[in-house]
Amino acid sequence: MEEFYWIGLKAVPGIGNVGFRRLLERCDTPEAVLTASPGSLSGVRGITPAIVEGICGGSWRRFAEEECRRLEASGARLVTFTSSSYSKSLFEIPDPPPFLYVKGELRSSELSISIVGSRRATSYGLMTTGNLSGALASHGVCVVSGMARGVDTAAHKGALLAGGRSIGVLGCGIDRVYPPENRKLFEEMAQKGCLVSEFPLGTLPLAENFPRRNRIISGLSRGVLVVEAAEKSGSLITAQYALEHGRDVFAVPGNVSFVSSRGCNGLIKQGAKLVDCVEDILEELPGRDQAAKDLPLLEKSPRTFALSPKEAAIFELLARSPLHIDDIIAQTELTAGEVSSMLLHLELKGAVTPLPGTHYAVAK
267-298 residue pLDDT tens:
999 999 999 999 999 999 876 554 345 545 54
pLDDT value at residue 231 = 77
CATH placement of domain 104-292: 3.40.50.450
Q: What is the pLDDT of residue 302?
A: 53
CATH (residue range 309-362):
1.10.10.10
| Strand order through the sheet with 166-169 | 77-80, 99-104, 194-197, 166-169, 142-145, 112-117, 223-227, 248-252, 273-274
Q: Which residues of the chain have pLDDT under 70?
A: 287-303
Between CA 315 and CA 96 the distance in angstroms is 12
Domain boundaries of the chain, sorted by first residue: 2-74, 104-292, 309-362
Return d(Cα 177, Cα 289) in angstroms, integer: 39
Q: Which CATH class is domain 2-74?
A: mainly alpha
pLDDT given at position 292: 41
Whether the pTM exceeds 0.85: the reply is yes
pLDDT at position 297: 53
What pLDDT does 291 receive? 35
Residue 296: its pLDDT value, please?
Answer: 54
What pLDDT does residue 67 have?
A: 97
Nearby residues of 167 by Cβ (< 8 Å), 6 or more positions away: 106, 112, 142, 143, 144, 145, 193, 194, 195, 196, 220
d(CA 363, CA 181): 43
Measured CA distances, 283 to 187, 248, 273, 294, 364 (Å) = 33, 12, 11, 12, 19
